[in-house]
């Protein structure tokens, strides 16, 4: 059965750490990411305040528990990442399948749109739009989703171009199948696994993008934390309390790396399937 | 182990290659699989040994072992390989490198992947020269390359020297590969399916080149192929392999007349014949065994018509033992093969001309194609657009329950014809009538309804089934699309093609090529079509499996009164299955008629050349072969007049004028597009 696979094992380890942080930590007694304690601010990792409360990862400028903050921020980031991936996957796969299956002018319009999308610097676009519609978790997820469909669209179209000439689709057509039938029954199931690979890769990109927007103050708004925002807040205290900026960076790294390795493991799995 | 004499008598006695008791294992985490078991053979100077076998028989693997090119998880576990008496199995990689290309070299199947697309061919051949002659100057290398190109019959070698592989046709590419293999005049040339990727007229040319270069250098050759006819014509001796073991070794000229192993006899009986009709092909039952789970005793016993379940066959593995002059065979009951074969030959004997049955008054044709045209716009330069005539004025009529064979080489438009008729491509002109109704005028939903009468089975059993669907769902698909799905109907269809309902629960990757093709046929039959278009439907299958599928198709036709359009490059199969035949060349039908008329008395020189190009074991050397010269002309710039005149040995001045119509001319009883058709009696030399 499944052989030991380094990228699989790494992915599992890294994502397990994230699961503990994002799901288990909030279930622990005393979890409260908003509780301020100005007297116990900027405690180092493993520090105790004057009441003898123990803080595994220390506290931030307002004396909030860093572990709890990191957990909540992780939930926010994961939520934004997942919804953005779902939005962009849906748009990208739909447009890609349509472009690849129907070819002709439809394809030209869709692929033109993709080129247009890529030619506009994404961060600038996001900054401009958030400045207008105002920053919020929903807006951020939607915007990130709407602007990152191109990768899915391109891959889906490329696969469709080769699949549509495959004989199982030709034979379905001779049996009187409609375009909708072919796309739903044949193209989508064959394209989807590849899309999950793209998705696991894009997920990391989106988390980083969210972090940079939050760092600029255009993402998640306080008191809701996000890793990017925590880095941004922590940079003023780099000398005094380096853990404020370093811990969220590490968390970010673990999550993104975890998904990279996951996408690698997926790819390998899919390759095996293609060979077999 | 040594043979007393050489079959042709002209070979020297100097051994070039001796393989003794060779066994190869694959070592995987799942366990050890014995891929090749106890193979022994010898090749002498000037001799050609043919190794024949179906896919998975271990024939290529054996020769890769000789070259020392086995993959990392493949191991030679026993035996010895001696090249001119020198043991090579224990040589280091560096020592083997000195032998490869110098003492022995290989020609692979697909010249497209053998050549590096970004290197000029002069450089690629030059590399082979330089590897073993590092002290050659640039000019010396170039001179040698030009010499080699000339040797393999390349026209314009100086000009060709600096061209890239994509500027060569398939046949020319294979000549380049041969030039590379012959660069250092090796003692042993290994040709692994050297012509399988090529058209039959080109195959004849390439085999000639191989024979010529060997004659010049005296190299011995091992010819690996699945094509019994090809080895019978080109080899001195034949070794037959099955499931990693050697079944039989015999003089090539005698293999068709006197096969000694039941497997060989079965293979021969399952081959469709080119020169006469046979009633029904023998089909070897079952499938090639899984090598990780070989049958006990004789590997062939589960499929054997002679040994079958007899105790020695089940229990004891037969050794390869001498059986008469120049022969060895691994069978407990090989004396009985001759009788079995004679019986098969009687059974197969030509039936009372079956074609006559359809000769009565012409009923309304079920399927009519009228002046079909298809042109593609091809972008030429930056601004220019060119037209490619893929189909030109193709017409035919077909009665219910009969089969039209469409033959031609690659690029002749036969697959385009299938796609146009199926409306997977829109025709540029013409009409198809199905049951008297215009098929081409349907649009949208009415087209989808009309389509169910015209179904298709494609060539590639791998890409024609969606790998993510279960077999039951695959066969149910047409029923679901058109409404009327029932599980019973699917099971009935599975039964039609000889599969059980349990097969429906599995997915395509679990099935072999032949089984997949059965599934594709079941799916095509789901909507009770009137017409089935079979586009190279048996071409990708092994010989024994091919016969099973052909027999299945014939049975289904008789049972369901199906009408077939059978598209194939394989003339023997077309002869066996068709009532009428149309021969295509560059998008046109150049000859049409009853199958016996066309095969027994071809009128068009191209048809004659096609027929003559097919390897035959019993070719009469005295009768000059009628060959098509050179390559297919560029379809973008076809010659004026008759499209075949550039390759036709009989072309005259008049052929340049007009493209001849497809009509019956003097001395022939069926239409052909040739101004000077060949007649039944007088075939000009």
DSSP string, chain A: -PPP-HHHHHHHHHHHHHHIIIIIGGGSTT--TT---GGGTTPPTTEE-TT--EETT-B-TT--BHHHHHHHHHHHHHHHHHHHHHHHHHHHHHHHHHHHHH-HHHHHHHHHHHHHHHHS-HHHHHHHHHHHH---HHHHHHHHHHHS-HHHHHHHHHHHHHHTTSHHHHHHHHTT--HHHIIIIIIHHHHHHHHHHHHHHHHHHHHHHHHHHHHTTSSSPTTS--HHHHHHHHGGGTTT-THHHHHHHHHHHHHHHHHHHHHHHHHHHHHHHHH-
Alpha carbon distance B423, A174 (integer Å): 8
Instruction: Out of A166, A176, A190, name the one closest to residue B481 (CB).
Output: A176
Judged by CB atoms closer than 8 Å, whether chains meet at B481 and A175 is answered as: yes
Find chain B residues with C-beta within 8 A of A171's C-beta: 455-456, 458, 464, 520, 523-524
Token code pair at residue B158: 């100086």
Q: Closest Cα of chain A to B22: distance in Å? A: 29
Q: How far is B289 from chain A (nearest CA, A)?
A: 18
Specify whether the CB–CB gap between B390 and B410 falls below 8 A: no
> Dmax over Cα atoms in chain A, in whole Å?
79
Distance from CA of A1 to the nearest CA of B (A): 10
Beta bridge partners of B250: B238
pLDDT of residue B621: 65
Judging contacts by C-beta atoms under 8 Å, the chain B residues touching residue A185 are 477
**What is the average pLDDT across A95-114?**
94
Kindly report the backbone phi and psi dihedral angles of residue B524, in degrees, each rounded to the nearest multiple of 5, phi listed first: -65, -25
Q: What is the pLDDT of residue B620?
A: 65
Q: Which residues of B are less than 8 Å from A168 in CB distance?
A: 463-466, 474
Count of C-beta atoms within a 10 Å radius of residue B502: 11
- B interface mutation test: which of A159, A166, A171, A270 has the most B CBs within 10 A? A171
ipTM of the complex: 0.81
Give the pLDDT confidence score for residue B363 in this predicted structure.
Answer: 63
Contact B318, B298 (CB under 8 A): yes
Residue A170 above 80 pLDDT?
A: yes
pLDDT score of B685: 42
Predicted confidence (pLDDT) per residue in B48-57, tens digit: 999 998 888 8
pLDDT in tens, B619-637: 666 677 788 888 888 888 8
Q: And the tokens for A95?
A: 């447009």
From B302's Cα to the closest Cα of chain A, the distance in A is 27
Contacts of B466 in chain A (CB under 8 A): 168, 186, 189-190
B277: helix, strand or coil = coil
Share of chain B above pLDDT 70, in %: 94
- Beta carbons within 10 angstroms of residue A83's beta carbon: 18
Q: What pLDDT score was predicted for residue B141?
A: 93
Q: State mean pLDDT over A250-265.
A: 84
Q: 3-state SS of chain B: helix, strand, coil percent to 5?
A: 35, 20, 45
Contacts of A176 in chain B (CB under 8 A): 447-449, 451-452, 478, 481-482
Confidence of residue B2 (pLDDT cuts 50, 70, 90): very low
- Provide the 8-state DSSP code for B100: B
Which 8-state DSSP code applies to residue B352? S
- The closest of B245, B197, B189 to B39, measured between CA atoms, is B245
* pLDDT greater than 60 at residue B238: yes
Given B449, B456, B460, which is nearest A174 (Cβ)? B456
> What is the reported pLDDT for B25?
92
| Closest Cβ–Cβ partner in A172, A175, A276 for B509 | A276
Are B586 and B601 spatial neighbours (Cβ–Cβ below 8 Å)? no
Interface touch B468/A189, C-beta < 8 Å: yes
How high is the pLDDT of residue B530? 93
In degrees, to the nearest 5, what angle opens at C-alpha B324 toward C-alphas B322 and B326?
75
User: Per-residue pLDDT averaged across B418-437, rounded?
Assistant: 91
Which residues on B lie below 8 Å from A190 (Cβ)?
466-468
Size of interface A-B (CB pairs under 8 A): 66
Alpha carbon B264 to its chain's center: 18
d(CA B338, CA B254): 12
The answer on pLDDT for A99 being more than 50 is: yes
Å from A113 to nearest chain B CA?
Answer: 25
Q: Which residue has the tokens 């909540």?
A: A72
SS3 B557: helix
Residue of B nearest to A274 (CA): B467
pLDDT at A220: 82
> CB-based contact (8 Å) between A5 and chain B?
no
Structure letter (DSSP) for residue B639? P
Mean pLDDT calculated for residue range B335-359: 71
Instruction: Quote the strand ranges of B45-155, DSSP E.
Output: 48-52, 74-83, 86-87, 104-107
Instruction: Dump pLDDT digits (tens) for B492-532.
Output: 999 989 888 888 999 888 888 888 999 999 999 999 999 99
Q: Considering only alpha carbons, which residue of chain B is nearest residue A190?
A: B468
Among A5, A174, A184, A193, pick the best mutation site for testing chain B contact (most B Cβ within 10 A): A174
Mean pLDDT of chain A: 84
Mutate to test the interface with A, among B432, B465, B480, B481 (most CBs of A within 10 A): B481
**Nearest-CB residue to B458 (from A167, A181, A276):** A167
pLDDT single digits (tens) B166-193: 888 888 899 999 999 999 889 999 999 9
> Which residues on chain A are in Cβ contact (under 8 Å) with B526?
175
Within 10 angstroms of residue B13's Cβ, the number of other Cβ atoms is: 9
Question: pLDDT tens across B71-87, in order?
Answer: 888 989 999 999 998 99
CB contact under 8 A, A167 and B482: no
CB-nearest partner of B455 from A174, A177, A186: A174
The pLDDT tens digits for A192-248 are 888 888 888 888 788 888 888 887 878 887 778 888 788 878 888 888 888 888 888
Q: Does A132 touch chain B (CB under 8 A)?
A: no
Measured between beta carbons, the chain B residues lying within 8 angstroms of A181 are 481
pLDDT at residue number A3 = 54
Q: What is the pLDDT of residue A28?
A: 81
Q: Is A180 an 8 Å CB contact of chain B?
A: no
Given pLDDT bands bounded at 50, 70 and 90, which one contains residue B93? Answer: confident
- B43 sits in which H/E element: strand B31-44
Amino acid B477: pLDDT: 94
Chain segment B429-484, per-residue pLDDT in tens: 999 999 888 999 888 889 998 999 999 999 888 889 998 899 999 999 999 999 88
| Residue A102 pLDDT grade (very low, low, confident, very high; cuts 50, 70, 90) | very high
Cis-peptide into B291, omega within 30 deg: no
Helix (H/G/I), strand (E/B), else coil: B576: helix
| Cα distances (Å, whole numbers) of residue B73 to B33, B60, B292 | 11, 16, 15
What's the gap in Å between the CA of B290 and the closest CA on chain A? 15
Non-local (6+) Cβ contacts of B269 within 8 A are: B281, B282, B341, B344, B345, B348
Q: Check pLDDT > 70 for residue B488.
A: yes
**Cα B651 from Cα B676, distance rounded (Å):** 9
Q: Which two tokens stand for residue A72?
A: 């909540």
Question: What's the per-residue H, E or C state across B128-155?
Answer: HHHHHCCCCCHHHHHHHHHHHHHHCCCC
Instruction: Say if the Cβ atoms of A175 and B478 lie within 8 Å.
Output: yes
Is the confidence at residue A274, as pLDDT, over 50? no
Which residues 183-212 on chain A approach chain B with CB closer than 8 angstroms?
A: 185-186, 189-190
> Per-residue pLDDT for B7 more than 90?
no
Q: Compute the nearest-CA separation of A243 from chain B (Å).
A: 47
Give the DSSP per-residue string, B188-250. Answer: EEEEESTTTTS-HHHHHHHHHHHHHHHHHH--EEEEEES-HHHHHHH-SEEEEEETTEEEEEE
Q: Measured between CB atoms, does A3 come within 8 Å of chain B? A: yes
Q: Is the pLDDT of residue B615 over 80?
A: yes
- Select from B468, B469, B510, B517 the residue whose CB has the most chain A CBs within 10 Å, as the one to mutate to test that interface: B468
How many helices (H) and strands (E) are present in chain B, helices listed first? 21, 22
User: Using CA atoms, how far apart are residues B549 and B573, in angstroms rounded to an integer?
Assistant: 11
Q: Which residues of A touch B460 (CB under 8 A)?
A: 167
What average pLDDT does this structure show over B109-126?
89
Residues of A in contact with B529 (CB under 8 A): none
Quickly state the pLDDT bin for B6 (edges 50, 70, 90). very low
Is A248 within 8 Å of A77 (Cβ atoms)?
A: no
Cβ neighbours of B464 in A, within 8 Å: 166-168, 171
Asked whether the beta carbons of residue A170 and residue B424 sit closer than 8 angstroms, the reply is: yes
Nearest to B493 by CA among B471, B470, B461: B471
What domains appear along chain A, each with residue ranges and CATH number? 80-275 (1.10.3720.10)
Instruction: Determine, for residues A175 and B464 on separate chains, whether the beta-carbon distance falls below 8 Å.
Output: no
């Amino acid at each position: 059965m499944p052989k030991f696979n380094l990228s699989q094992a790494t992915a599992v380890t890294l994502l397990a750490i994230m699961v503990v942080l994002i799901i288990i930590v909030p279930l622990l007694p005393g979890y409260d990411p908003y509780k301020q304690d100005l007297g116990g601010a900027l405690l180092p990792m493993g520090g105790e305040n004057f009441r003898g409360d123990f803080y595994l990862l220390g506290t931030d400028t307002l004396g909030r528990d860093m572990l709890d903050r990191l957990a909540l921020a992780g939930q926010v980031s994961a939520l934004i990442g997942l919804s953005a991936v779902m939005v962009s996957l849906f748009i990208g796969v739909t447009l890609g399948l349509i472009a690849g299956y129907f070819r002709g002018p439809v394809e030209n319009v869709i692929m033109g749109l993709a080129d247009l999308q890529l030619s506009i610097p994404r961060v600038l676009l996001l900054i401009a739009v958030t400045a207008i519609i105002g920053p919020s978790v929903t807006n951020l997820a939607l915007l990130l989703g709407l602007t990152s469909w191109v990768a899915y669209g391109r891959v889906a179209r490329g696969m469709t171009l080769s699949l549509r000439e495959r004989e199982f689709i030709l034979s379905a057509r001779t049996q009187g199948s409609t375009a909708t039938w072919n796309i739903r029954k044949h193209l989508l199931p064959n394209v989807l696994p590849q899309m999950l690979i793209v998705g696991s890769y894009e997920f990391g990109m989106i988390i980083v993008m969210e972090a940079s927007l939050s760092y600029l103050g255009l993402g998640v708004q306080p008191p809701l934390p996000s890793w990017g925002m925590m880095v941004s807040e922590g940079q003023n205290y780099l000398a005094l309390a380096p853990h404020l900026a370093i811990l969220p960076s590490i968390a970010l790294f673990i999550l993104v790396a975890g998904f990279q390795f996951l996408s690698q493991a997926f790819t390998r799995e899919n390759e095996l399937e293609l060979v077999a | 182990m040594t043979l007393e004499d050489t079959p042709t008598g002209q070979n020297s006695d100097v051994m070039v290659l001796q393989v003794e008791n060779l066994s190869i294992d694959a070592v995987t985490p799942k366990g050890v699989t014995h891929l090749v078991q106890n193979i022994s053979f010898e090749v002498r100077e000037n001799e050609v040994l043919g190794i024949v076998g179906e896919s998975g028989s271990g024939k290529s693997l054996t020769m890769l072992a000789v070259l020392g090119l086995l993959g990392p998880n493949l191991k030679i576990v026993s035996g010895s390989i001696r090249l001119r008496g020198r043991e090579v199995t224990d040589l280091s990689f560096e020592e083997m490198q000195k032998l490869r290309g110098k003492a022995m070299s290989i020609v692979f199947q697909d010249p497209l992947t053998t050549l590096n697309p970004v290197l000029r061919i002069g450089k690629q051949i030059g590399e082979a020269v330089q590897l073993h002659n590092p002290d050659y100057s640039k000019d010396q290398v170039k001179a040698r390359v030009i010499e080699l190109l000339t040797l393999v019959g390349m026209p314009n070698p100086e000009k060709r020297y600096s061209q890239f592989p994509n500027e060569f046709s398939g046949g020319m590419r294979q000549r380049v590969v041969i030039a590379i293999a012959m660069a250092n005049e090796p003692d042993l040339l290994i040709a692994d399916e050297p012509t399988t990727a090529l058209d039959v007229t080109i195959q004849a040319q390439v085999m000639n080149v191989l024979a010529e270069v060997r004659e010049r250098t005296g190299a011995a050759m091992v010819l690996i192929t699945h094509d019994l006819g090809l080895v019978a014509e080109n080899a001195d001796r034949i070794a037959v392999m099955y499931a990693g073991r050697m079944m039989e070794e015999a003089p090539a000229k005698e293999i068709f007349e006197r096969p000694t192993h039941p497997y060989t006899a079965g293979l021969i009986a399952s081959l469709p014949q080119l020169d006469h009709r046979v009633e029904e092909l023998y089909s070897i039952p079952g499938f090639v065994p899984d090598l990780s789970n070989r049958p006990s005793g004789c590997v062939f016993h589960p499929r054997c018509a002679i040994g079958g379940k007899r105790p020695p066959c089940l229990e004891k593995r037969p050794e390869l033992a001498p059986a008469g002059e120049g022969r060895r065979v691994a069978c407990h009951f090989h004396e009985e093969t001759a009788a079995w074969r004679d019986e098969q030959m009687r059974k197969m004997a030509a039936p009372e001309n079956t074609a006559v049955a359809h000769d009565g008054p012409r009923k309304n044709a079920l399927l009519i194609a009228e002046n079909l045209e298809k042109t593609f716009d091809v972008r030429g330069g930056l601004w220019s657009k060119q037209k490619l005539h893929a189909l030109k004025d193709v017409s035919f009529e077909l009665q219910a329950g009969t089969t039209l064979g469409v033959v031609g080489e690659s690029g002749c438009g036969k697959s385009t014809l299938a796609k146009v008729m199926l409306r997977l491509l829109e025709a540029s002109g013409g009409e198809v009538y199905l049951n008297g109704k215009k098929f081409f005028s349907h649009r949208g939903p009415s087209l989808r309804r009309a389509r169910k009468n015209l179904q298709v089975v494609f060539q590639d059993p791998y890409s024609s089934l969606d790998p993510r669907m279960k077999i039951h769902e695959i066969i149910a698909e047409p029923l679901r699309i058109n409404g009327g799905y029932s599980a019973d109907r699917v099971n009935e269809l599975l039964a039609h093609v000889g599969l059980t309902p349990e097969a429906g629960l599995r997915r395509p990757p679990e099935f072999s090529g032949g089984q997949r093709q059965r599934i594709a046929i079941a799916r095509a039959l789901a909507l009770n079509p009137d017409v089935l278009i079979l586009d190279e439907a048996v071409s990708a299958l092994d010989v024994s499996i091919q016969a099973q599928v052909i027999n299945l198709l014939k049975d289904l036709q008789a049972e369901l009164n199906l009408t077939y359009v059978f598209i194939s490059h394989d003339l023997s199969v077309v002869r066996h299955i068709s009532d009428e035949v149309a021969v295509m060349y560059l998008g046109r039908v150049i000859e049409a008629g009853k199958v016996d008329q066309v095969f027994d008395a071809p009128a068009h020189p191209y048809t004659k050349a096609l027929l003559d190009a097919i390897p035959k074991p019993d070719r009469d050397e005295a009768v000059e072969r009628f060959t098509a010269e050179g390559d297919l002309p560029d379809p973008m710039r076809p010659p004026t007049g008759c499209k075949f005149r550039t390759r036709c040995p009989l072309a005259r001045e008049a052929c340049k004028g007009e493209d001849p119509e497809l009509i019956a001319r003097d001395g022939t009883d069926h239409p052909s597009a040739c101004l000077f058709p060949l007649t039944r009696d007088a075939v000009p030399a």
